[in-house]
Amino acid sequence: MLEVRPLGLEGVLEIIPRKHADERGFFSEVWREDALKDAGVDVTFVQDNHSFSKTRGVVRGLHFQLPPFAQDKLVRVTRGAIFDVAVDIRRDSSTYGRWVGLTVSAAQWNQIFIPRGFAHGFLTIEDGTEVVYKVSAPYSPQHDRGLRFDDPAIGVDWPLDGEPLLSSKDTAAPLLADLETGS
Ligand SMILES: Cc1cn([C@H]2C[C@H](O)[C@@H](COP(=O)(O)OP(=O)(O)O[C@H]3O[C@@H](C)C(=O)[C@@H](O)[C@H]3O)O2)c(=O)[nH]c1=O
């Protein structure tokens, strides 16, 4: 039904749903609760998000929400491609501050699951990229937090050509060392 591959940090998974192609086009189950449960992902999603980035070189992140609004995320790309990153920000974790990255694209039809306790961000690597993702807690601006995408203490190796396009909020985000994670 779907293929699941661990990505090296606890609970972060690549998920590849089956794509049934025929002369009309294709059909795919892009999220199926029971199949994910069988794969060890037991979450209830409450909100779907869709973002569009006009160009390659847009960085969104690194973002997370504080408890009790911490979010698990299931991220996919319906057009274009991203380099998607999860950073472990669980203070009691043996992999605190470590990151993992995965190219997620419409062409590969893959997804990334990022559990709560991780900061999340992505770089668009194609123009006109659309990212669609499910989250397990509703948006709460009071609990919404950011972390510098280029914090040297984390050292994400973004596949960037030049300077990224960032929101003003992301430009002003703090370093991991200055973070309040609520955990
Ligand atoms: C995230 C979010 C934003 N918004 C609003 C707030 C703001 O006016 C506008 C744009 O918000 P942002 O700049 O935070 O959007 P963006 O930078 O795309 O934020 C997203 O980045 C990725 C990496 C994530 O992981 C998401 O959880 C989310 O943080 O949309 C909502 O209404 N609901 C939401 O769930």
Q: Is 133 part of the annotated catalytic residue set? A: yes
Res 179 pLDDT > 90: no
Q: How far is the CA of 48 from the centre of ligand 1 (A)?
A: 11
- The three-state DSSP-derived secondary structure of 97-164 is CCEEEEEEECCCCCEEEECCCEEEEEEECCCCEEEEEEECCCCCCCCEEECCCCCCCCCCCCCCCCCC
Average pLDDT over residues 90-115: 98
Say whether pLDDT at 163 is over 70: yes
> Atom of ligand 1 at shortest distance to CA of 71?
27
What is the model's pLDDT at position 180? Answer: 72
Nearest atom (ligand 1) to Cα of 62: 23
- Looking at the domain assignment, is residue 57 inside a domain? yes
Ligand 1 binding pocket (C-beta < 6 A) is 49, 51, 60-61, 63, 73, 120-122, 139, 167, 169
Q: Is residue 88 part of a domain?
A: yes
Domain contains 1: no
Predicted local confidence at residue 62, as pLDDT: 98
CATH number at residue 59: 2.60.120.10
Q: pLDDT tens-digit profile of 119-154?
A: 999 999 999 999 999 999 999 999 999 999 999 999
Q: Pseudo-torsion of CA 132, 47, 102, 87, nearest 10°?
A: 140
pLDDT tens digit sequence for 51-86:
999 999 999 999 999 999 999 999 999 999 999 999
Q: Whose CA is nearest to atom 33 of ligand 1?
A: 139
In a domain, 127, yes or no: yes
Dist. CA 146 → ligand 1 center (Å): 11
Task: Examine the residue annotation and report whether 143 is marked as an active-site residue of this protein.
Answer: no
What is the enclosing helix (H) or strand (E) of 52?
strand 47-53
Cα–Cα distance, 99 to 95 (Å, whole number): 9
Asked, for residue 28, whether it belongs to a domain, the answer is no
Q: Does 153 fall in a domain?
A: yes
- At residue 183, the pLDDT reads 55
Task: Confirm whether 183 is domain-assigned.
Answer: no
pLDDT of residue 26: 97
pLDDT at 87 over 70: yes
Query: How many Å separate Cα 51 from the centre of its chain?
Result: 12
CA 162 to ligand 1 centroid distance, Å: 24
Q: What is the pTM of this model?
A: 0.96
- Judge whether residue 182 has pLDDT over 90: no
Which residues form the domain of 165?
44-178
* pLDDT at res. 1: 79
The total of structural domains in the chain comes to: 1
Predicted interface score ipTM higher than 0.90: yes
Would you say residue 14 lies in a domain? no
Residue from 47, 48, 52, 60 whose mutation best tests the ligand 1 pocket (most atoms within 8 A of CB): 60
Mind listing the pLDDT tens digit for each residue in 20-58?
999 999 999 999 999 999 999 999 999 999 999 999 999
